[in-house]
Amino acid sequence: MVNSRQAEHLRDLLKTFTRRDSATLAGVASDVDTSAYTCSVTLANGLTLQDVQLKALKQDTNGAVLIPAEGSWVQILDIGNPDYLVVSCEVLQKAIITINEQVFTMDGNTYSIKSGDESLFKILNDLLTQILALTVTTSSGPSGTPINATDFQDIQTRLSNLLT
């Protein structure tokens, strides 16, 4: 959560940026670190900036993080010497949105929706597993597995291709 002192500092920085001729710089992203949420950016003049932030506040666990693909163009904002922040990406590798315990992640292949230790994938997969194991008591004993069990297995496969 942003405290009032941080918010005031951010407001002051934004005022400073709006007085500049150009508030952002463009360059090519490299050395993307998805655990430290940083990357390097090589500007058109050949200068490479190290440890450019991918999230606005290093210590904050809430918010959105846009992770650029290696070699893609990014716009960066000078947030105070020596710090820079990526504010837009030509090509995204991954996006992560965190609000308290809820985390939404997407990359080029799958989505992940989690709340604490639970995930949408796990809940839906557990549901399909229980449906596949379903038996019903009948007058002649327990029934067999559902006659459309392969349809449920196909849904599980599709689910694992979309969610993690």
Residues 111-130, mean pLDDT to the nearest whole number: 93
Provide the 3-class DSSP secondary structure of residue 140.
Answer: coil
Contact indicator for 97, 64 with CB cutoff of 8 Å: yes
Instruction: Report pLDDT for 50.
Output: 95
Across the chain, mean pLDDT equals: 88
> H or E segment at 12?
helix 4-19
Is 20 a residue whose pLDDT tops 60?
A: no
Contact indicator for 74, 29 with CB cutoff of 8 Å: yes
Helices and strands of the chain, counted as H and E runs: 3, 12
Q: Taking the CB of residue 67, how many other CB atoms lie within 10 A of it? A: 21
Provide the 3-class DSSP secondary structure of residue 35.
Answer: coil
Rounded CA-CA distance 30/86 in Å is 12
Q: What is the pLDDT of residues 85-120, one digit of tens each?
A: 999 999 999 999 999 999 999 998 999 999 999 999
**pTM of the complete model beyond 0.75:** no
Find the range with the poorest average confidence among 18-22, 75-79, 104-108.
Answer: 18-22
Is 1 a residue whose pLDDT tops 60?
A: no
Give the residue extent of every domain in the chain: 4-99, 112-162
Residues 128-148, mean pLDDT to the nearest whole number: 87
Is 17 a residue whose pLDDT tops 60?
A: no
Is 3 a residue whose pLDDT tops 90?
A: no
Provide the 3-class DSSP secondary structure of residue 117.
Answer: coil
Query: Where does the pLDDT of residue 49 fall: very low under 50, low under 70, confident under 90, or very high at 90 and above?
Result: very high
8 vs 119: which has the higher pLDDT: 119
- Class of the domain covering 4-99: mainly beta
Residues 44-71, mean pLDDT to the nearest whole number: 91
Instruction: Report pLDDT for 19.
Output: 56
Q: What is the pLDDT of residues 36-45, one digit of tens each?
A: 999 999 999 9
Longest CA–CA separation in the chain, Å: 83
Contact indicator for 65, 48 with CB cutoff of 8 Å: no
